[in-house]
Amino acid sequence: MKVLSQSTAFGGMQGVYSHESEACQCEMTFAVFVPPQAIREPCPVVWYLSGLTCTHANVMDKGEYRRMAAELGLIIVCPDTSPRGNDVPDELTNWQMGKGAGFYVDATETPWSTNFRMYTYVTEELPAFVSQHFRIDMSRQGIFGHSMGGHGAMTIALKNPDRFRSCSAFAPIVEPSTADWSVGAFEKYLGDDRSSWRQYDACALVNDGARFPEFLIDQGKADAYLETGLRPWLFEEAIKGTGIELTLRMHERYDHSYFFISTFMDEHLKWHADRLS
> Looking at 21, 50, 82, 147, which residue is catalytic?
147
Give the C-alpha separation, 169 to 24, whole Å: 25
Residue among 204, 192, 123 nearest 164 (CA): 123
Residue among 138, 158, 187, 180 nearest 246 (CA): 158
What are residue 218's DSSP bridge partners?
Answer: 170, 249
Question: Could you tell me whether strands 245-251 and 214-220 are parallel, antiparallel, or unpaired per DSSP bridges?
Answer: parallel
> Looking at 90, 177, 223, 268, which residue is catalytic?
223
Half-sphere exposure at residue 69, Cβ-oriented, CA atoms within 13 angstroms: 28
What are residue 143's DSSP bridge partners?
Answer: 47, 167
Cβ pair 41, 75 in contact under 8 A: no
> Looking at 146, 151, 256, 268, which residue is catalytic?
256
208 flagged as catalytic = no
Give the C-alpha separation, 209 to 251, whole Å: 30
Sheet holding 75-79, edge to edge: 2-9, 12-21, 26-34, 75-79, 43-49, 136-146, 164-170, 214-220, 245-251
Task: Give the distance from CA 71 to its chain's centroid.
Answer: 22
Q: Coil, helix or strand for 149? A: helix
Give the C-alpha separation, 222 to 200, whole Å: 26
5 flagged as catalytic = no
Q: Which amino acid, residue 11?
A: G
Active-site annotation, residues = 147, 223, 256
